[in-house]
Structure 1
Amino acid sequence: MKFFLDTADLNEIRQAVSLGILDGVTTNPTLIRKAGARDFHEHIRQICELVPGDVSAEVTAVDYEGMLREARQLAKIHERVVVKIPLIPEGIRAIKTLSEEGVRTNCTLCFSATQALVAAKAGATYISPFVGRLDDISSEGMTLIGQVVQIYRNYDFRTQVLAASLRHPMHVLDAALVGADVATMPFPVMMQLLKHPLTDIGLERFLKDWEAYLQAQKSAGA
């Protein structure tokens, strides 16, 4: 499974890169605004230079021609850019055209398996089903991930399943168990993957024992 960071914060990205486990980044207009980016294209370029893999940058147009125009501009920023396109009829048209042009796409705002099937047929590079937002309306978001993974395997679609809107470590674990290709998560969730109280207790105990050993050695040599 690939780990993507769902952020536009350069400091968070640098910290994740330093761990050596970051495969890519997903952004959206909300995250770009939150990061305080002054120049959208330049900010995306900076992210691309930090990470080793794909960086999703989203169009804001909702019409076919507008999405194509923005997508082509975004794709020129850096070879790592993957263009996020909303899962609407005009978006599917745009994904099909962009796929034929060799522009990679991330079809976003997916909430059903039939939507994911259509996106794959259009040639999307990634599909982004939103787990947390489905949970918010008393639906099983992770069930959708499993359905999409199974459908894509049934028909050998090359579209990668990118589990999005992951809000806690169990979301990441469940996405891995059902076979999602990518998990994109906020920085705090990525850090929580490393945490366990028994690890902290065990480390504290080892360090105390080591300190006691050193003191004993010191006393023996006195």
Structure 2
Amino acid sequence: MKFFIDTANLNDIKEAEALGILDGVTTNPSLMAKEKISGDKNVREHYKKICDITDGDVSAEVISTDFEGMRKEAEELVKIADNIVVKIPMIKDGVKALAWASSQGIRTNCTLVFSAGQAILAAKAGATYVSPFIGRIDDIGWDGMTLISDIAEIYAVQGFDTEILAASIRSGKHIVDAAKAGADVVTCGLSAIESLLNHPLTDNGLAKFLADHKKAAGL
């Protein structure tokens, strides 16, 4: 399973890269705003900085909601770097844009997916990635991991090549559950990734090893 980091913060991206586990980056307008990046020129320059840190896929989201606007944005975004993936929303014109992008050899990430039916449409239209939002589904009382399992089963049966990118990941447990459910990729903040490091038995074991070493060395 691939690990993407969901952020526009360059320091977090560098830290994930330094861990040796970074396969890509996802961003959105909200994450750009959080870093106080605004204006088309500044946003695209920031995407270039991200692409300079990692060779992995970097999802850059369109702002337009009409087909022609998304098409024009996609053409501009892919000029930034070879590893740019155009992030397109799951709406009617978005599906049209996914199909157009696929015909042009432009890789895409279909975002804001909340049902298996939407995932089927995205795959049929040729999306490279489909992004079910697990945490947001859980927030309304449904089970996001069931959706991942359903999409994985459908894609396997139908032979779709689209990769399942589990988004809106809130915790280390979400990461593990998404891996078990068949996600090809998870995207989340650095804190969720680093939480996988933590276990009290690891801490206790290391403390004992170090104490025994000091004792044996007469320190």
1:5 matches 2:8: no
TM superposition shift of 1:73:
0.5
1:22 matches 2:34: no
Mapped to 2, the partners of 1:112 and 1:69 lie a distance apart of 28
Mapping 1:21-40, distance limit 5 Å: 21-37=21-37, 39-40=42-43
1:55 matches 2:58: yes
Q: Which residue of 2 aligns with 1:98?
A: 101
1:179 matches 2:182: yes
1:87 matches 2:90: yes
Letter in 2 for 1:86: P
Alignment partner of 1:215: what SS?
A: coil
Number of equivalences = 216
The one of 58, 73, 88 equivalent to 2:76 is: 73
Mapped to 1, the partners of 2:99 and 2:192 lie a distance apart of 33
1:148 matches 2:151: yes
TM superposition shift of 1:51:
1.2
Q: Is the radius of gyration larger for structure 1 or structure 2? A: 1
TM superposition shift of 1:178:
1.5
Letter in 1 for 2:104: E
TM superposition shift of 1:170:
1.1
Mapped to 1, the partners of 2:201 and 2:32 lie a distance apart of 37
Mapped to 2, the partners of 1:172 and 1:142 lie a distance apart of 10
Gaps of 5+ in 1: 217-222
The two structures have a TM-score, normalised by structure 2, of 0.97
TM superposition shift of 1:74:
0.5
Gaps of 5+ in 2: none
The one of 136, 143, 164 equivalent to 2:167 is: 164
TM superposition shift of 1:202:
0.8
1:108 matches 2:73: no
Mapped to 1, the partners of 2:194 and 2:36 lie a distance apart of 23
Mapped to 1, the partners of 2:55 and 2:67 lie a distance apart of 31
Letter in 2 for 1:20: G
Alignment partner of 1:21: what SS?
A: coil
> Share of identical aligned residues, percent?
54
Mapping 1:191-206, distance limit 5 Å: 191-206=194-209
Mapped to 1, the partners of 2:76 and 2:16 lie a distance apart of 27
Alignment partner of 1:173: what SS?
A: helix
1:119 matches 2:122: yes
The one of 119, 122, 139 equivalent to 1:136 is: 139
Letter in 2 for 1:17: E
Mapped to 2, the partners of 1:36 and 1:201 lie a distance apart of 41
Mapped to 1, the partners of 2:111 and 2:197 lie a distance apart of 28
CA RMSD in angstroms comes to 0.9
Letter in 2 for 1:135: D
